[in-house]
Chain A
Amino acid sequence: MVRASTGRTVFQLINYLLLAFFAFICVAPLINVLSVSLSESAYAAAGSVKLWPVHFTIESYVFAFKDKLLLSSYGVSIQRVIIGVAINMFLTILVAYPLSKEVREFRFRTLYAWFLFITILFHGGLIPWYVTIRQLNLMDSIWALVLPSAVPVFNCILLLNFFRQLPKELQESAHMDGAGHWTILWRIMVPLSKPALATLVLFACVNHWNSWFDGLILMKRPEHYPLQTYLQTKVISFDASALAGATKEELESLMAVSDRTLKAAQIFLSALPIMCLYPFLQKYFVKGIVMGSVKE
């Protein structure tokens, strides 16, 4: 039995305090946003809301839910995440396996690896990207949001590294038992990579959930916007110089837009699903049943 030394106890205490402090400063801005969303408009506009709502009210949420566009954008984002992440993970797994092999087992691996990696380093730019998607007739469809980023190279590299750390003997013995690559991949490698896969699912979900720019450029109607695109149009500071010649109606609608509590409610609603996702995936981050050593 390990005797708990005083040093160790002190360390634990400090550790807990430190971690709690950092956790707090990370969550504080979100608490602030939540409080603003539950406060009365005038107080929020005055900047009086810190970590607790002032004059509690849920009217901003009621107002937000009446917004058909907010609801539709939620739907689009959920659709996008489900389809997009499925494609991402499937391709990531498919690609990581061959690339995790040694050169003698798969002679073109380095060529493929660089082929993929170059796409992280170089980009053709916004315009060619747009033109390509347009030429493929993908505009205004869910596929425009899901296909261009179908291969998440960063994730592939992470996964191939994890695969490499799995013991070679597992693969070799399976091979000798007559198992083909496909079987080895799905029956052996994947089940043993749960922590890594869970991590990558989280990253892929967050990526898709947070993208807003492609939604703006590739969709033709606001009803087709994913959530963050829609949110971007709300939260962004308007260009005041354009108002010099505004008409009365334009100005009146401006009053509603600059409502801070409404913005805060929308922000909070958009962050909520992902925050709920993480604890859900956490059970996969358990100490592995991996056997064997690290790379040679």
Chain B
Amino acid sequence: MKKHNFGKGLMREWPMHLMMLPAVLLIILFSYIPYAGLAIAFERFNPSKGFFGSPFVGWDNFEYMIKMPGISQVIWNTVYIACMKMVGGLIVPIVFALLLNEVIHTKFKRAVQTLIYLPHFLSWVILGGVLTDILSPSGGLVNSLIGWFGAEPVFFLGNEKLFPYVLAVSDIWKEFGFGTIIYLAAITSINPVLYEAAICDGANRWRQIWHITLPGMTPIIVLMMTLSLGNVLNAGFDQVFNLYSPVVYRTGDILDTLVYRLGLIDAQYGVATAVGLFKSVVSTVFIVISYICAFRFANYRIF
């Protein structure tokens, strides 16, 4: 009886398995097989002995990581900065997409859409130089504006307290175009009939947004939020590396810049891999929690 059901199911489903096949093969090849390299996190890696010949050292690399001086401050910095980016990176594009959606003039709308996506293309190597200019306490654009209002110039990139916020704001600025596009695509997929019905019921624009647009975007919002949770420990190496300096180490040094220095000077593969593994585990925990919550409370399967 079971066999019969299984057979019948397979008959119906085999085209779908076939569709999955090429992707699955490629993923096994390029993602799963390399997972063997995670073994490095538990070894004192010697390249000539390879992944399975190097001496096994158990949790030593992780211990080393935990004992690194200043590690707790660095982890706190990482989480703090990453959280600000996640929250800002979620809200700003949504608001922007909504605002943009209100624009009637199509040419303007398209122009704006194109322009906001631009900072995404420039690397932090370049933007680092640009930002240093703009935020300079002696003649930079922002401080000139502050000067108009009669206030003292602020040394943004050299101020321990302000630095994390500078990181968050500049990153949101660079990437909000990306989120906006996704949300706009979601908005355009909402059935116009719903809006017509609402207008007939006398809803004004705000109510329409609140009751139609936002709920229509919810699945995508939840998805983006969940995926971004995976970045809770990714405060953005490229950006920090190009903007930080010794004077803001205390609040600006993140996990990745610390590991970079370790890896560069000491070639500590084991520790670097251990840190990477640690980050992955933490991300997974957060994402799984979020997936379960969305499923239990909103009956929504994220994927």
B20 and A112: CB pair below 8 A? Answer: yes
- B-binding segment of A57-65, A71-79, A114-122, A243-251: A114-122
* Complex alpha-carbon distance, A20 and B105, angstroms: 13
* Complex alpha-carbon distance, A210 and B223, angstroms: 25
- A-binding segment of B33-41, B61-69, B158-166: B33-41
Residues of A within 8 A of B121 (CB): 30, 206, 210, 271, 274-275
Q: Which residues of B contact A (CB under 8 A)?
A: 9, 13, 15-17, 19-20, 22-24, 26-27, 29-38, 40, 51, 96, 99-100, 102-103, 108, 110-123, 125-127, 130, 133, 173, 177, 181-182, 184-185, 188-193, 205, 215-216, 219-220, 223, 227, 230, 269, 273, 276-277, 280, 283-284, 287, 300, 302-303
Main SS of the interface on chain B?
helix
Q: A106-B16, A290-B189 are in contact. Are A285 and B184 (CB under 8 A)?
A: yes
* Complex alpha-carbon distance, A30 and B115, angstroms: 10
A98 and B185: CB pair below 8 A? Answer: no
B13 and A151: CB pair below 8 A? Answer: no
Q: A271-B122, A285-B184 are in contact. Are A25 and B173 (CB under 8 A)?
A: yes
Interfacial residues of chain A within 122-169, with CB under 8 A of chain B in the complex: 122-125, 127-129, 131-133, 136, 147-151, 154, 156-158, 160-162, 164-165
B280 and A157: CB pair below 8 A? Answer: no
Contact pick for A121, options B116, B192, B205, B230, CB 8 Å: B230
Q: Which residues of A contact B (CB under 8 A)?
A: 8, 11-12, 15-16, 18-20, 22-27, 29-30, 32-33, 47, 91, 94-95, 97-99, 101, 105-108, 112-113, 115-117, 119-125, 127-129, 131-133, 136, 147-151, 154, 156-158, 160-162, 164-165, 180-182, 185, 195-196, 198-199, 202, 206, 210, 235-237, 267, 271, 274-275, 278-279, 282, 285-288, 290-295
B58 nearest CB across to chain A (Å): 19
A279 and B110: CB pair below 8 A? Answer: yes
For residue A295, which residue of chain B has the nearest CB? B219
* Complex alpha-carbon distance, A99 and B99, angstroms: 33
A241 nearest CB across to chain B (Å): 13
9 of the cross-chain contacts (CB-CB < 8 Å) are A24-B115, A26-B115, A30-B121, A98-B19, A150-B23, A157-B227, A267-B126, A278-B113, A285-B188
Residues of B within 8 A of A127 (CB): 37, 40, 269
* Complex alpha-carbon distance, A15 and B127, angstroms: 27
Residues of A within 8 A of B277 (CB): 122
For residue B215, which residue of chain A has the nearest CB? A294
Q: A23-B112, A182-B15 are in contact. Are A124 and B27 (CB under 8 A)?
A: no
Residues of A within 8 A of B16 (CB): 97-98, 101, 106, 181
Most chain A CB neighbours (cut-off 10 Å) among B113, B185, B283, B300: B185
B38 and A124: CB pair below 8 A? Answer: yes
* Complex alpha-carbon distance, A123 and B36, angstroms: 10
* Complex alpha-carbon distance, A228 and B111, angstroms: 26
Contact pick for A124, options B23, B35, B110, B283, CB 8 Å: B35
A16 and B113: CB pair below 8 A? Answer: no
For residue A93, which residue of chain B has the nearest CB? B19
Residues of B within 8 A of A149 (CB): 30
Q: A23-B112, A199-B182, A288-B189 are in contact. Are A125 and B273 (CB under 8 A)?
A: yes
B19 and A94: CB pair below 8 A? Answer: yes
* Complex alpha-carbon distance, A216 and B20, angstroms: 31
A16 and B287: CB pair below 8 A? Answer: no
* Complex alpha-carbon distance, A23 and B96, angstroms: 11
B8 nearest CB across to chain A (Å): 12
Most chain B CB neighbours (cut-off 10 Å) among A27, A113, A125, A149: A125
A29 and B189: CB pair below 8 A? Answer: no
A229 nearest CB across to chain B (Å): 12
Contact pick for A291, options B116, B122, B191, B300, CB 8 Å: B191
Smallest CB-CB A-B distances: 3 pairs? A128-B37, A124-B34, A128-B34
B114 and A107: CB pair below 8 A? Answer: no
* Complex alpha-carbon distance, A24 and B119, angstroms: 11
Residues of B within 8 A of A20 (CB): 112
B24 and A285: CB pair below 8 A? Answer: no
A184 nearest CB across to chain B (Å): 10
Most chain A CB neighbours (cut-off 10 Å) among B34, B215, B219, B269: B34
B124 nearest CB across to chain A (Å): 11
* Complex alpha-carbon distance, A215 and B28, angstroms: 22
B20 and A287: CB pair below 8 A? Answer: no
* Complex alpha-carbon distance, A107 and B6, angstroms: 10
A156 nearest CB across to chain B (Å): 8
B35 and A122: CB pair below 8 A? Answer: yes
A282 and B37: CB pair below 8 A? Answer: no
* Complex alpha-carbon distance, A291 and B102, angstroms: 22
* Complex alpha-carbon distance, A128 and B17, angstroms: 28
Residues of A within 8 A of B32 (CB): 119
B269 and A119: CB pair below 8 A? Answer: no
B125 and A122: CB pair below 8 A? Answer: no
Contact pick for A275, options B24, B38, B114, CB 8 Å: B114
Contact pick for B122, options A29, A108, A199, CB 8 Å: A29
